[in-house]
Structures are given as C-alpha cells and as structure tokens.
C-alpha cells in the first residue's frame, strides 16, 4: 500500500486546451477534520488505509493542496436541466486534485467536492454542507455494496466554517473517485457552442483513455453513443431493481461511463409507489421512479445530438444513423430489466409468463403500499409470504402461481432462498437511516453512525442479524422527511 507521496499522480485533462477547464486552488475551510475514511475505497486504489494515509490526506485537504505536483482544475460542461438546455454549468464547487493509477492499472480521478468557487460557480458559493456530503458518501458506499456502478467517496471531511443554505450549516468536503468526470453535458457544451474541433478532441480523448476498443470502430462517435446506450440501459435497470431514484437525472448528471454520479436528493423506495418522486424540488415528477427508464432515452438523445457533427455523412444521414443507435436503447433496457426482474423473483429459466407474474405482484404491492425491499427479500420464505399482506386471498392466489412457476425451476427450498437473498438486498440506504446519521453528526458531532452504515451497506445481501433494525420500514418521525436540490 502506498502513501500519498508515493502515488505519482497525473492529470491527463491538462493536455486538453484551456476551453475544457479552469485552474483554481482549493480554498481551504476553517478547522477541517476527517469525518470518515472509506478504507475499502482506499485499498482498491492502492492507498494506505491506515492512520498515516488518513492523516496525510487530511493535512492535504486542510491546507487546500492537490496531490503532489498536480495543478487542480475544474472541468467545463453544460447540460439539460429538467428538460431545459443550460449553456454552461461546469464544476462549480469541485476540483480535480489528481489522477491515480490503481494496482490493477486503472486510472481514477480524485475530485475534491466543496472546495470553493470556480469559474463555473455562477451564483453559488462553491461549498457543500455536511448533510449533503454525508448523503453522497453513504450513497456511494451503498451502491458499491449493491454492485451497482457508481462514483465512490474516499473520504469525508467536516469543518467549522459556516455555510448558508436555508439555515446556517457547516461546510464539508468529500473526495470523489471516478474513472473520469465526463458527462453527457461535457459533449453538449462543445456542440452547442459550435466548437466542433474541440468536440472531436473530447471524443478522441475519451476513446483513447477510457474506451480504447472503440478506436477501430467504423464510426467512433456512434460507437461511443452505442456504448453509452448500453451502459445506461444496464445501469437504470439496476436502479429500478433496487428501487433507487436518482432525483436529478439532468444530462450534466449522467456519466459517460454509465455509472451513477452526483448524489443529491436521491432516495430508495420504502413503500412501493411507481410514481414516487424523491426530490422535493421536482414539482412535476419528471424524475419519478417509473420515469427513469424513459428519461434515460431523453438524455441519450441529447448526447446523440451533441455527437452528430462527428458522425460522417451529410446531416440527414448522420441523424438517421444516430437515431438507429438510439433505437437500441429500449430493447437493451427491456432485456436488462426483464433479466433483473427474473433475478429478483429467483427465476433462472425464461418463461413467457414471467412479466405477468411480476406485474401481478407489483400491483398487489402498490395497492398495499408494501415495502419494496422487504417484500422481495421475503420471497425467500414462500410459506409465510402471503402473511405480509392485508388481502391475504389475493396474496395466496399469487403465491400459488409463483409456487407453480418455481416448480419448473428444479431448485430446492434452500437454493431458492439463496437465489432470492443474492438478488434482493436486506439493507438499502433508506432516507431515515441517512437522516439519523446526519442528525447525530450535526447535533452531537458523533460520526459513528456513518461508519456503521458504511460497514452495513457494504454487504447489503448478508443477514447481519445483529443489525436487523436497519431493515425496518421508516418510523413515524421520518414520514415528513423531504430532500431537495439544496446541498
């Protein structure tokens, strides 16, 4: 394991022309201290997860420094926010502080979030608050535990610096880890400003560094679009499977790598409600749970539009070719979602009636507002499954069909339970769990709950009997919790 000064960090973005970025130094916060260090992330990066590694990183962040030899930078991007194009966004409160190559040879951006104003801050203060960084730190760990592609969070820092939101809060920072921070909106920026040469540079850079196999494609721009179509379809199918709602699926929050990025007012479903809106600022439910798959297509269409100048042929032919690639999204999503639904039901064989079996269960769950996570987990014990429902007759009728379907799976009772338990987590990051950790941190400066949740959610499929309380549905006090874009 390496210490920070042994990392030989890089910054490949520096080879791109200055229109892509803006250089700034992190503006340190008063009395910065380490709140939580994710040892699992550190180890995977080949960074010493011990006391020395932690204190070196904390000292660096407290002093407002980047990794040795790196000039930090904010990246420029644009994006469609709630359907409206915003010509310039960019990292308004985050700086790349270096890229490190892990022991497997993979490169990762380390980005410091909450580090102060940049050229892209607009009216913002460039800061993040403890509440929102705890939420991002926990969600990153929870998604990694679930095996869902995501940015990660190496470390979370608090401070004594007041930051003004709806109330006075404390400034905080986190170090986000991602293969790159390119978003669909990175491409849109160069398309809408008519900088097609820079757009070409971005495409070439992306392919060379992250998707080298696409370099030999007949048309690299279309190949990248297809890559994004497939990875986004897979990702959203996984989100739907665990009841994850992103909350702000703007194109600037969509990673070109098909990983979950920019955790803000996200949520995991408690009671099953297909139209659930997790973001209190999403007045029209544009990003409701059941709309996420179709928003995926809207966002990919924005990316496709932005890549058009790089598709050979006259504009009409180019548009037709891009549309053809975009048409693959729905079948790709449908296939991934069908596979996900079968997995959740513990079905390895494929039968035509499986979607109907799923729909019937979900209709029952919707009418009873059944807990999404716990209901699927309970499929492992079929005998008691109908007892969970008020309309027991309806639940029994469904269970009879389900048993008949399972009879054709040639799997023993134990094998069935194991399948259900590997596909359906016992623990997800329910809003109230994150809220408890936030309240303890804010009110009592007690950060132990953050560590407990990171540990627990790192293995969400394991029973962990001693922590069964964390699998319970939200308590009464949590019914009024609201999360919004304020962060």
Which residue's CB is nearer to Mg ion, number 75 or number 224? 75
- Strands (E) in 131-245, as ranges, are 152-164, 168-178, 244-245
Which residues are within 8 A (CB) of 280 and not within 5 positions of it... i.e. 6 or more apart?
265, 482, 483, 484
Among 75, 89, 225, 326, binds ligand AMP (CB under 6 A): 89
Among 24, 80, 108, 127, binds ligand AMP (CB under 6 A): 127
Contact 232, 328 (CB under 8 A): no
92 binds ligand AMP (CB under 6 A): yes
Name the binder of 125 from ligand AMP, Mg ion, none, CB < 5-8 A by kind.
ligand AMP
136 binds ligand AMP (CB under 6 A): no
CB of 201 to ligand AMP, least distance (A): 21
Which residue's CB is nearer to ligand AMP, number 121 or number 209? 121
Catalytic residue among 48, 252, 270, 371: 252
| 256-295 positions binding Mg ion, by CB under 5 A | 262
340 binds Mg ion (CB under 5 A): no
Closest CA to 185 of 329, 303, 308, 14: 303
Which residue's structure tokens are 């194991």?
Answer: 418
Among 264, 346, 425, 460, binds ligand AMP (CB under 6 A): 264
Name the binder of 68 from Mg ion, ligand AMP, none, CB < 5-8 A by kind.
none
Name the binder of 48 from Mg ion, ligand AMP, none, CB < 5-8 A by kind.
none
Contact 244, 149 (CB under 8 A): no
Q: Respond yes or no: is residue 290 known to be catalytic.
A: no
Closest CA to 371 of 482, 273, 266, 483: 273
Count of residues near ligand AMP by CB under 6 A: 17
Q: Which stretch binds Mg ion (CB under 5 A): 39-47, 60-68, 251-259, 296-304?
A: 251-259
3-class state of residue 279 by DSSP? strand
Name the binder of 126 from Mg ion, ligand AMP, none, CB < 5-8 A by kind.
ligand AMP
CB of 253 to Mg ion, least distance (A): 4
Name the binder of 90 from Mg ion, ligand AMP, none, CB < 5-8 A by kind.
ligand AMP
Which residue's CB is nearer to ligand AMP, number 167 or number 465? 167
Count of residues near Mg ion by CB under 5 A: 2
Buried b (16+ CB within 10 A) or exposed e, 115-153: bbbbbbbeeeebbbbbbbbbbbbbbbbbbbbbebbbbbb
Name the binder of 449 from ligand AMP, Mg ion, none, CB < 5-8 A by kind.
none
3-class state of residue 407 by DSSP? helix
Which residue's CB is nearer to ligand AMP, number 144 or number 262? 262
246 binds ligand AMP (CB under 6 A): no
253 binds ligand AMP (CB under 6 A): yes
Rounded CA-CA distance 372/473 in Å is 10
Q: Which stretch binds ligand AMP (CB under 6 A): 17-25, 248-256, 407-415, 454-462?
A: 248-256
Query: Shortest Cβ contact with Mg ion: which residue?
Result: 262
Closest CA to 211 of 146, 257, 251, 273: 257
Closest CA to 78 of 253, 248, 317: 253
Closest CA to 144 of 43, 221, 273: 43
253 binds Mg ion (CB under 5 A): yes
DSSP secondary structure of 351-368: -TTHHHHHHHHHHHHHHH
126 binds ligand AMP (CB under 6 A): yes
Which residue's CB is nearer to ligand AMP, number 75 or number 223? 75
Which residues are within 8 A (CB) of 383 and not within 5 positions of it... i.e. 6 or more apart?
none
Rounded CA-CA distance 430/483 in Å is 12
Rounded CA-CA distance 152/389 in Å is 37
Which residue's CB is nearer to Mg ion, number 244 or number 402? 244
Rounded CA-CA distance 96/110 in Å is 6
Q: Which stretch binds ligand AMP (CB under 6 A): 14-22, 117-125, 284-292, 378-386?
A: 117-125
CB of 239 to ligand AMP, least distance (A): 17
CB of 14 to Mg ion, least distance (A): 23
Contact 303, 225 (CB under 8 A): yes
120 binds ligand AMP (CB under 6 A): yes
DSSP secondary structure of 417-442: HHHHHHHS-S----HHHHHHHHHHHH
Q: What number of residues does the chain have? A: 487
Which residue's CB is nearer to Mg ion, number 250 or number 424? 250
Helical axes 184-192 vs 292-307, angle rounded to 10°? 40
CB of 103 to ligand AMP, least distance (A): 31
Among 91, 144, 340, 371, binds ligand AMP (CB under 6 A): 91
Residues designated catalytic: 252
Binding site for ligand AMP (CB under 6 A): 89-93, 120-121, 124-127, 248, 252-253, 262, 264, 485
Binding site for Mg ion (CB under 5 A): 253, 262
């Amino acid at each position: 394991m390496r210490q920070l000064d042994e990392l030989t960090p890089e910054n490949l973005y520096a080879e791109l022309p200055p229109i892509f970025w803006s250089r700034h130094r992190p503006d340190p916060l008063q009395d910065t201290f380490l709140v939580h260090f994710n040892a699992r992330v550190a180890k995977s990066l080949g960074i010493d997860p011990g006391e020395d590694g932690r204190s070196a990183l904390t000292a660096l962040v407290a002093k407002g420094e980047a990794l040795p030899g790196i000039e930090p930078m904010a990246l420029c991007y644009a994006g469609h926010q709630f359907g409206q194009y915003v010509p310039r966004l960019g990292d308004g409160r985050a700086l790349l502080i270096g890229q490190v190559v892990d022991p497997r040879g993979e490169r990762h951006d380390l980005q410091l979030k909450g580090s102060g104003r940049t050229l892209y801050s607009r009216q913002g203060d460039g800061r993040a608050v403890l509440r929102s960084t705890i939420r991002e730190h926990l969600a990153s760990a929870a998604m990694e535990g679930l095996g869902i592609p995501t940015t990660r969070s190496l470390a979370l820092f608090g401070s004594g610096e007041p930051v003004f939101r709806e109330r006075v809060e404390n400034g905080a920072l986190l170090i986000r880890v991602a293969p790159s921070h390119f978003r669909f909106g990175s491409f849109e920026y160069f398309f809408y400003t008519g900088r097609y040469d820079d757009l070409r540079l971005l495409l070439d850079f992306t392919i060379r560094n992250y998707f080298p196999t696409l370099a030999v494609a007949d048309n690299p721009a279309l190949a990248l679009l297809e890559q994004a179509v497939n990875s986004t379809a897979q990702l959203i199918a996984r989100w739907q499977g665990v009841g994850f709602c992103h909350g702000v699926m703007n194109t600037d929050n969509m990673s070109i790598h098909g990983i979950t990025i920019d955790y803000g007012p996200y949520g995991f479903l408690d009671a099953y409600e297909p139209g659930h809106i997790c973001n209190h600022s999403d007045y029209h439910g544009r990003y409701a749970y059941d709309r996420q798959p179709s928003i995926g297509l809207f966002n990919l269409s924005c990316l496709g539009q932005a890549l058009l100048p790089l598709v050979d042929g006259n504009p009409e032919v180019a548009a037709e070719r891009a549309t053809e690639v975009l048409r693959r999204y729905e079948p790709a999503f449908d296939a991934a979602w069908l596979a996900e639904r079968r997995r959740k039901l513990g079905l390895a064989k494929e039968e035509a009636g499986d979607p109907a079996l799923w729909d019937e269960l979900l209709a029952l769950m919707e009418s009873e507002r059944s807990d999404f996570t716990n209901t699927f987990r309970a499929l492992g014990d079929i005998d008691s499954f109908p007892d969970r429902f008020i309309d027991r007759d309806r639940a029994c009728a469904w269970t009879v069909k389900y048993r008949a379907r399972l009879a054709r799976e040639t799997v023993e009772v134990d094998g069935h339970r194991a399948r259900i338990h590997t596909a359906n987590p016992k623990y997800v990051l329910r809003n109230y769990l994150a809220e408890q950790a936030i309240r303890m941190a804010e009110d009592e400066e007690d950060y132990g709950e953050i560590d407990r949740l990171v540990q627990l959610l790192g293995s969400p499929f394991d029973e962990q009997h001693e922590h069964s309380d964390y699998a319970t549905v939200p308590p009464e006090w949590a019914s009024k919790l609201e999360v919004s874009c304020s962060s």
